[in-house]
Structure 1
């Protein structure tokens, strides 16, 4: 864009690598959700497997969308020479995965 400040490409490439790492996390969550639903038939009941798989795949969508929003805001901050913004994406990911782990542990203990 005309008048846009030229930034060190290493910073923009680092932001892109971080974005791609979040996308890999999202893809891994999708694979995990499909695996729980289709491959782990000894885990709890079909309903519990479906709920866990749906929550994990939904989390994957949130992570993918959040990764883009985070990348865009970081890129804008770098180009505008502003401080990098905070993100709640890691807190959400951690909280949901910890909750799934606890619920899965309870389901295994009950079964």
Structure 2
């Protein structure tokens, strides 16, 4: 995949990081904004539906390409990404082969919620 042109970074993405907090009954995971929003290129790779244990689930797998910065290089699959009203779990992060100034994030979101 070639490096994106500036005009192709049309999506605004935001990141969230989970922290453990005590809710009075025990430790629970709470998502909080992490860092500033970033510009990215979005490419949907696949979508699908699952039928398992009487549940119907729909999801989309998407690749986001964004500039590599000190902040984006610190992202991990424990973080999540928000774009266009969907929350995406990050399943993979890699340096873009064509241009190491960019990172590719492979993400999956449930589209039935």
Output the TM-score relative to the length of structure 2.
0.24
Kindly indicate which of the two structures has a greater share of residues assigned to helix.
Answer: 1
More strand by share: 2
Higher relative contact order (CA 8 A, sep 6+): 1
